[in-house]
Structure 1
Amino acid sequence: MIKTDRRTFFAMLAISFSGMFLIGGYEFIRVAGDSLFITNYGAAQRPYVMTASPLVTMLCIYIFGSLLTRFGSLWALIYTFIISICIFVLSFVGIFSGIKLSILIFYFFAQSYIVVLFEQFWSFIDSVLKKEEAQSYNGPIVGVISFGPILAGWLIKKTAVSLGTNMVILMGAVSLVPSMLLGIVAYKMAGEPKPFKTAHDGKAPLHLSLFKEQPELLFLAAVIALSQGLSTVVQLNFMLALERAIPFEDVRTAFLGKFWMNTAIISCILQFFVAPYLLKRFSLRLIMLLIPCIHLLIGLAMFGSGSIMTAVLAYGGFKILDYSVFRAGKEIVYIPFSFDVRYRAKQVIDSFVYRFSKGVASGFISLVSIITGSFPQAGYVIMDLVMATGWFAAVFPLTRNSENSEQTKSR
C-alpha cells in the first residue's frame, strides 16, 4: 500500500463515508422513482423521459459551474446538497398530496442530482491523490461507498411494503444530510482544491474549449457515451421484464431493493480485492479493453431470453463492473489534468454525456417502437454489439499517454 500522509488518509476516509450515504440515499430515490414511474406511466414510457433528461442535467451542470466560479469547490458542493434536499422534500410533499406532476419533476431531477454530486466527490479525490495512490485507494474508496446501497437495499426490501413507496423518497432525502457533513470534513482535512492561476481556469462555468485543447477528453467522452448507451439497452430490457413479472408496486419496490443490494455486495468484493490488484498488476489500457469485451459476451448470452432472471443477470452484470473496476480505472485518467478538467470537463463528460448518451439510445428505441409498434429483441443484441465494439476501439487513443508513460517507467 502506498504511504499517504494522515490528513489525506482521513480525508479519503471521510469522503468515502460521505459517498456511502450519498449512494445509499440514491438507492432509495432510484428505487422509489422507478416503481412510481412504472405505476403511473408504465415502463414503455420511460425511453421518452430518458430522452429529455439530459436537458435537465445540462441545466444542473451549468448551475454547478456558476457556483464553482463564484464560491469555489467546497461551497459549490454544499449548495448542490442543499438544493437537492429541498427539491426531494418538496417532491415528497407533492407526491404524498396526489399531485401527479410531482412524480415527473422528482424523476427528472433524480436522474441529474446524483451524477452532479457524485462527480464532485471524484473531482475532489482526483485532485488530492497521486496516480500511484489512486491505484491502491480507488477500489477501496468505491468499496466503502458500496456499503450504502447494500444497507439501503436491505432496508427497502424490509420496509417498502409496510411503509409504502412514498416514504422511501423521504429516507433518500434525509440521507443527504450526513453525506454533506462528511463531505465538508473531507474538504477541511485535505484542503480545498483550487484552480491554476491561468487565464481560463476557474472562470468559465463549463469551459468547453478544454475539449479542443485536450483531445483525450473527446475519447473519454466517447467511452462514456458508448458505455452508457449500452447500459440503457440492458436497463430498458430489465424494466420491461420487471413490469411483466411483478405488476404490484410495493412488491416491485422490494424486489428492486433486493436487486440493488445484491449488486452492491458483489461490486464491493470486486472493489476491495479485485480492482486494486488489477490496477497495480496490469496496464490501464488492458483493463479498460477487457470490460467492453465482457459486456459483449454477457449481452449476447442474455438477450436470447426475455425472462426476468436473464434481464437481472445482464443489467446486474453491467452495473457490477461499472461500479467497481471501470470506475476505479476511469478516474485515474483525470489525475494528470488541470483543476478545470477535473471539475468542469469532468461534469460535462461524466454527468451530461453520461445522461445524453442514455437519452440518445432511449430516443432511438422509442422511435423504432413508434414506427414498428415495438422494439424487437434482436435490436437489443445489435445495439449491444455496435456499442461494445465502439467502446473497445475508443480505449486505444484514450489510453495512449498512459500506455507510453508505463512503457517509459519499465525501461
Structure 2
Amino acid sequence: MTTESNGPIARIVRATTKVEPNEIRATVLSFAFLFMLMLAYNILKPVRDAMASDWSDPEVATLWTINFFISALAVSIYGLAVARLPFKYLVPGLYGFFAFSFLAFYAGSSAVEDAVLIEKSFYVWISVFSLFHISVFWSLMSDVFSKAQAPRLFAFIASGASIGTLAGSSVPLFLASVIGTQNLMLIAAAILVGIIPALGYLQKLKVTELGNENVQVDLNEQQSIGGNPFAGFTLLFKNPYLLGIAVFILLYTAVGSFVYFELKNILEVFTRDERTTIWAGINTTINVIAIVTAWFATGRITTKLGLAKTLALIPVLVAIGLLIVAVNPIMAAIIAAQIVLKGGNYSVTRPGREMLYTVVDRETRFKAKPVIDIVVYRGGDTITGWAFAGLTAGLGLGLGVVAAIGAGIALVWAITGVYLGRKFEKSADAATASGESS
C-alpha cells in the first residue's frame, strides 16, 4: 500500500525533480539523512585540524602512520561485520557506535586535565569515520531504493551532501569562539544520535510506500566478478596506465601534505578556538568554490580544455601559489594555496580523475581502483608526512624552501596529469573508431 505526501516540501520536490508521490517521504528523509551526516562530519573536521598545530611535524606524521594501519584494520573488521550481521542492524549499529565514540571523546577530553592522548586518538578516529560515513550511506540507499528508482532519485539525494558540507563548515566558523571547540564534538555526536531513529522509519517506508521489500543491497558485488582477491595489486603493477593514476594520486597527497603541514605550523601562534574558526573559514570557502565551480564551470572546463589540460590545471595553479609562498611565506598565501588545492580537487581534478577509469574493464574498476584510492592514498599520506617532517625537523629547512620543493612536486603532478589525459584521449578515440568500424 502506498500513500501520497501533499505538504509544501513534497510539492516543491515534485515540481523540481522526477520523484513520484509515493517516493516523497523516503527521498526527503534520505536527503535529510545525508545532510545531517555531512553536517556532523564537517563540524568535526576543523576541530581535528585545530589540534594538529599543538604537535610537532614528527608527531603528526606518526599519527598519519597509525591512521593508515587502523584504517586498514577497520575496513577488515567492517567486512567481517557485513558477513555476520543483518544489514538493517549493521547501519544503525555503525552510526550509533561512532556517535557514542564522539560522546566518549568529549567526556574524556573534558574530564582529564592532560588530554593529549585523547586528542591524538580523536585526530585519528575522525579519519576512520570518514572512511565509512558516506560509503555506508550509499549502501543503505541501494538497499532502500530499486535500480529503477535510483537514476531518478539519487541526484536529488546527493545534493544533501553539498548543502550539509557547506552548513557543517559554517557551524564552527560562527560558534567555535562562542561555545568553545570541545563543545562542537557534543553537537556532532548529538546529530549522529538523532539520525538513528530515522533509519528505522526509512526501512518502514521501503515496504509501506516504496514497495521495495524484495530489494536487497549486494555488499559483496566485487566478489561476483571472480578472480584472485589480490588481483587489484597485480593489475596495478602490470598496467602503466594504472601506475600513472597511482602516481598522480601519490603526488596529490604529497602536495596536500606539504600545504597542510605548512598551514598547521603557521597557525601555532593562535589559540585552539581561533584555529578552529580559521580552519572552518577555509573549509567554508573551499566548499563554496567547489559547489559553484562544479555546477557552472567543470563541464565547460573539461569540454574546452580536454582532459589532459584539465588534470594539469589545478596542479599548475597550486605550483604558482607555492612559489608565491616560497618568496613571501605569509599565512594568507598558504591559505590561498590550500583553498585552490582542495576546492580545485573537489570540483575539477577529482571528476577528471574519475573519468580515467571509464576506459578500463570492469575487473579493473572493482579491484584496482580500491587499491589506488585507499592503499595508495592513505599510504601516500604516511610517506609524504614523514618526508615533510624530515625536511623540517630533520634538516631544519624553513617554510620558504619547503614551499619551493612543494611547487616542484606540483609541477611533476601537472606533467603526470597531461600524460594520463593524453593516454585517456587516445584510448577513447580508439574505442570510438572501433565502434564506428564494427
Q: TM-score, normalised by structure 1?
A: 0.78
Distance 1:286 1:306 in 2: 28
1:87 matched residue in structure 2:
101
Q: Which residue of 2 aligns with 1:97?
A: 111
User: Is the aligned partner of 1:243 residue 2:268?
Assistant: yes
**Offset of residue 197 of structure 1:** 6.6
Of 353, 365, 369, the residue aligned with 2:388 is 365
CA RMSD of superposed structures (Å): 4.2
Structure 2, unmatched stretches of 5+, are: 1-16
| Counterpart Cα distance in 1 of 2:122 and 2:426 | 43
2:190 is aligned with 1:174:
yes
- 1:11-410 matched pairs, under 5 angstroms: 18-39=33-54, 41=55, 45-70=59-84, 79-98=93-112, 99-119=115-135, 144-176=160-192, 192-193=217-218, 195=221, 198=224, 200=226, 207-213=229-235, 215=239, 216-244=241-269, 247-279=270-302, 283-334=306-357, 338=362, 341-342=365-366, 346-390=369-413, 392-393=415-416, 396-397=419-420, 400=423, 403-406=426-429, 408-409=431-432
Cα deviation 1:240-285 (Å, max 9, x = unaligned) = 12223xx222222222222221221121101211224445666444
Deviates more, 1:110-119 or 1:159-168: 110-119
Structure 1 residues not aligned, in runs of 5+: none
What is the match of residue 8 of structure 2?
none
Q: 1:71 to 1:293 in 2, by over 3 A?
A: farther
Which of 1 and 2 has greater Rg? 2
8 Å CA contact 1:235, 1:315 repeated in 2? yes
Instruction: Provide the secondary structure at the position in 2 that maps to 1:303.
Output: helix
Flag the 1:210–1:306 CA change in 2: closer, same or farther, 3 A: same
Query: Quick one: which amino acid aligns to residue 231 of structure 1?
Result: G
Q: What is the Cα deviation at residue 19 of structure 1?
A: 4.4
Query: After the TM superposition, which of the residue ranges 306-315 and 386-395 deviates more from structure 2?
Result: 386-395
| SS of the residue 1:243 aligns to | coil
TM-score of the pair, normalised by structure 2: 0.73
* Farther-moved stretch of structure 1 (88-97 vs 9-18): 9-18
C-alpha displacement of 1:228? 1.3
Deviation at 1:95, TM superposition (A): 0.9
Shift of 1:363: 0.4
Q: How many residues align?
A: 394
* Contact 2:170 2:281 (C-alpha < 8 Å) held by counterparts: yes
With a CA cutoff of 8 Å and minimum separation of 6, indicate the structure with the bigger relative contact order.
1
